[in-house]
Each structure stands twice: as structure tokens, then as C-alpha cells.
Amino acid sequence: ADHLGCYGYARPTSPALDAFARDALLFENAYAPMPTTLPSHVSLLTSSLPARHGVLSNFRYLHIPFVPGEPGGLRSVAQTLSDAGYATAAFTSASPLSRGTGVDAGFAAFDAPPPFDENDESVRRTAGETVDRALAWLAARGDGAPPFFLWVHVFDPHLPYEPPAPWDRAFTTDAALLETLAARGIPDVLHRHVAGLANAYDGEISYADEQVGRLLDALRERGLYDDAVVAIAGDHGEGLMAHGEPGHELVWRGTVRVPLVLRWPGGPRGARAPQVASLVDVLPTLRAHTALPLAGAAFDGGDLLADAEREALSQEPVRDGAPRQRTFALSAGRWRYWYLSDGPARLYDVEADAAELRDVIGEHPDVAERMRARVEALLEDARARPGATVTNEIDADLRKRLEQLGYVE
């Protein structure tokens, strides 16, 4: 979120999303439940925390026990809408969201790159290619077609940052960028290196923004936009060497704070919501304020417009082969509390310290204790709800391939 114009970034990275936000409701402090592609999307599509759905990495695949009529069970929004007569289609851009990972449940049409174990090098396709496929599906819909649920996932921006031309030269280092890096606590000695990463990252954002704009334009041209429910969300951020993190596995605010912009018929226009939000809150909010047939699902999230005091729980993924320290961060109002299974807790005041550079737990022990109790209560509640089974599909050959791609160590 912190590299988008509508979230205050100085560079013109996101004109299409900025324009959409001016016609929708933007959540300023939305967080991903986990800074990893597959778990974060499972949470979005089911409104369930990782502690409930059990997908704790890109390589733990979801097997949802869809039992018709079972109350309180874990269900994908795609299956719920399919059961209600919607045409369902998904177009994804990366192998973590391939067929067989669980996110394909409920989609009559599912178009994705092959899974990791069928790849040699490429695990992604460009946003342009994915949007082309989605637009072709839209164009093939005839008059009198049923209502539809369309999920389009773009992988740009994501490591490695390799924007296509001309976006690869769209941004160069300037004083404003260097000030941003300094504010994030990145040492001066790293500024030149990180600025190069940020330039490429911003180029990928700008490229992806143009492709998302094409999709929104197609909805307008076909007369679908005004009556559509549109949700634009991110699954995680990028560390860009803040706190020494090059990628996106830790629960620092810059890594788990994501864009979230919602538009529905009769909904707010050009509005900004400052309260904390989570991706698990998207479906409950849409259920409360739209005509989407989402009744009956058991959601971990809640209606964001009904409660200005919501909280968001994020947790680090389980990296295959790594020690199983469990790290969570609870965001609530001005506070972010870190809960570590075998280490000291931390507390940050993000109103005064957005980059989380100063731990203030010693100054606010009452806040820390209250938030510790909330983390434990949220985890207990999520684990008590009907969930799903997961499998870890990594064998020796796949492990070697993933090591080459940097996904496991």
C-alpha cells in the first residue's frame, strides 16, 4: 500500500487505482492475515484466519471439506456464489495459486499457470497476459448470461522486480525517494541499492496498474461497472530492506499493510476509512451492504462499516524446514503488538512511529497485556471453528526446484 498514490506515495505509480479510489471506499489501514500469496488469498476467499484454514505457506494446500448444508463450515466465496447460480471464473498469474492448491474450489473456469512441480523456471505470467484472458472470458459472455463472479489475480509487483519496457525505466532515484528510505530506517549505506529495487518495484506497480485499469475500463464499456461489486485488494507488501527484510515473510507493517478498495451499488464514493481492517473482513462487509447471496457462511471477519474499532491479526508463514517459532502481530487503532512463541513481545505506536523503529512495550504494559490476551482469544476462537485439512506436497525433486527459485532454504 505504501507505494500507491492513493495511499500517499509521492510518485505517480497508480493512476488507474487512484481514479478508482476516488469513486469507491478506500481502507487506509488494511492488513493481510499472512504476508504470503496462497495463505493470504485463502483468507480473502473464505474469510478465515490462517489459524482456522491451516494453510501456513505457499506449499500447504487446502482441501476444504465442502459438505452441502453443513452449518458453520469453511466455504469459498466461489462455491457459495456458484451454488446461487453465478458463473464463476478465476484467472491467476502465479503457481502458488494454481489448480490443486485449494483456491480453485468453486470456480467453473479456472485459468492459472501450472503448479510448482510442473515448472522448470517460470512460476508467473505477466499481468497483461492474465488480464487478456479475463477480458476474453468477459467478451464470450452472451446476452442473458447469469450474474458472474470474476477473480483476476496479478503477480506484478513481486520479487524479482523485472518490469517490462517501458516501465523498466519509468522511475529513477530522486530526493523524495531517498527521504522515504531514510524515514523507513534504512541505513544510508544501503540507499543506492534499495533505491534501485524501489525503482523497479514502482515500475512493476505502474505496469500492473495499467492492466487493472484495462479491466475496469472493460466493465465500463460493457455497461457492467455501475451495477458491479468491485473489490481491489493486495495479498502482501514488500520489505524493500526495511528492518533488513528483502522480501515479504515478516509481519512488519510495511509487509502486511495492503491496499483495500471496495465499490458497490449505492456505496460510499470517494471516501476513506481510517479504521483497521483485515482481508477477512471483505466478505462480511459485502454481505452486509450488497445483494450478494452470502448468507450462511461462517466468517472470521466482520462488517467494517458497523464497527470502527476492529482489529487485524497477522502471522508469519511457516517456512519449510525452518524452526516453528510462531510470530503474530495484532493491529488495533494506533497500536501494533507482536506476539512471539519463544521470544519477547513488542509494541509499536504506529501513529507516532509508522516505520516501527521504537519498541514502546515498557512504557505501555497495560496495552501490551490487553493485546496479548486478544491474540490468544482470537487464535482460540479461530481454531475452534470448523476448518479444513491441508497437505504438504513437497517431495525431494520439488524441494530442489523451489530452492533454485528461492522459495525454500
pLDDT digits (tens, 9 = 90+) for 179-191: 999 999 999 999 9
HEC assignment per residue over the chain = CCCCHHHCCCCCCCHHHHHHHCCCEEEEEEECCCCCHHHHHHHHHHCCCHHHHCCCCCCEEEECCCCCCCCCCCCCHHHHHHHCCCEEEEECCEHHHCCCCCCCCCCCEEECCCCHHHCCCCCECCHHHHHHHHHHHHHCCCCCCCCEEEEECCCCCCCCCCCCCCHHHCCCCCHHHHHHHHHCCCCHHHHHHHHHHHHHHHHHHHHHHHHHHHHHHHHHHCCCCCCCCEEEECCCCCCCCHHHCCCCCCCCHHHHEECEEEECCCCCCCEEEEEEEEHHHHHHHHHHHCCCCCCCCCCCCCCCCCCCCCEEEEECCCCCCCCCCCEEEEEECCEEEEEECCCCCEEEECCCCCCCCCCCCCCCHHHHHHHHHHHHHHHHHHHHCCCCEEEECCCHHHHHHHHHHCCCC
Residue 172 lies in a domain: yes
Residue 377 lies in a domain: no
Percent of the chain with pLDDT over 70: 88
Q: How do residues 209-244 score in pLDDT, each as one tens digit? A: 999 999 999 999 999 999 999 999 999 999 999 998
* Model confidence pTM above 0.85: yes
pLDDT of residue 64 exceeding 60, the answer is no
pLDDT band per the 50, 70, 90 thresholds, residue 389: low
Q: How do residues 297-316 score in pLDDT, each as one tens digit? A: 789 999 999 988 999 999 99
Residue 333 lies in a domain: no
Residue 301 lies in a domain: yes
Which of 91, 103, 94 lies closest to 132, judged by CA?
91
Residue 138 lies in a domain: yes
Percent of the chain with pLDDT over 90: 75
Q: Hey, what amino acid is at 337? A: Y
CATH number for the domain spanning 42: value is 3.40.720.10
Total tally of structural domains belonging to the chain = 1
pLDDT of residue 324 exceeding 80, the answer is no
Residue 342 lies in a domain: no
Residue 400 lies in a domain: no
pLDDT band per the 50, 70, 90 thresholds, residue 71: very low
pLDDT reported for residue 68: 40
Residue 150: give the domain boundaries: 5-311
Give the pLDDT mean for 134-163. 94
pLDDT band per the 50, 70, 90 thresholds, residue 295: confident
User: What is the CA angle 85-88-92, rounded to 5?
Assistant: 170
Residue 372 lies in a domain: no
Q: Which of 136-145, 326-335, 356-365 has the lowest average pLDDT?
A: 136-145
